[in-house]
């Protein structure tokens, strides 16, 4: 378990610090560049949702804490925040991403991409904190598990 983490205000200005942290963890885990980038995009989407929809920008004491764990099998990134409960897995996802833009409803595409870009995504709400847990295997998993 890696005990270092970064805690930043839940604001748009903090997103670059979160991106840097995630890419450093991905590098330390030896993730190939494409998978590291997919993880970073997923984390960025979840963190942006915390700021935009979780009330992070409205609460002066709102924060996002990012931590990671590297095991032989995977890299786990945990985003924890004290914003309003927001479970990305319960949101309406983009129904048809291949439909023309004018035919698609607004919303859901970012969460869809975040959930699809990682190998495992889990959400928990406990002790008045959201916990978004994103896992990337260190080796590319077989197609049936992607």
CATH number assigned to the domain comprising residue 80: 3.30.565.10
Highest mean pLDDT among 18-22, 114-118, 142-146: 18-22
Residue 54 pLDDT > 80, yes or no? no
Give the residue, 67 or 102, on which the prediction is more confident.
67
Predicted pLDDT of residue 1: 47
Per-residue model confidence as pLDDT tens digits over 78-113? 999 998 888 888 765 555 555 555 554 555 556 777
Exposed, middle or buried, 70 (CB in 10 Å: 0-12/13-18/19+)?
middle
**Residue 66: CB partners within 8 Å, gap ≥ 6?**
5, 6, 7, 8, 18, 21, 22, 43, 47, 77, 78, 79, 80
Point out which residues pair with 79 in neighbouring strands. Answer: 66, 132
- In terms of residue numbers, what domain contains 72? 5-145
Predicted pLDDT of residue 91: 64
Per cent of the chain over pLDDT 70 is 76
Give the residue, 101 or 29, on which the prediction is more confident.
29
Question: What is the number of domains present in the chain?
Answer: 1
């Amino acid at each position: 378990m890696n005990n270092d983490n970064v805690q930043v205000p839940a604001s748009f200005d903090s997103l670059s610090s979160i991106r840097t942290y995630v890419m450093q963890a991905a590098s330390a885990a030896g993730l190939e560049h494409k998978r590291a980038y997919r993880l970073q995009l997923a984390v960025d989407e979840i963190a942006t949702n915390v700021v935009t929809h979780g009330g992070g920008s409205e609460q002066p004491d709102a924060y996002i804490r990012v931590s990671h764990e590297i095991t032989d099998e995977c890299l786990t990134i945990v985003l924890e925040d004290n914003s309003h409960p927001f479970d990305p897995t319960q949101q309406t996802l983009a129904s048809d991403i291949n439909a023309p833009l004018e035919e698609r409803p607004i919303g859901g595409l970012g969460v869809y991409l975040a959930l699809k870009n990682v190998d495992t995504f889990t959400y928990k709400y406990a002790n008045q904190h959201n916990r978004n847990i994103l896992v990337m295997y260190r080796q590319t998993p077989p197609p049936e598990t992607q």
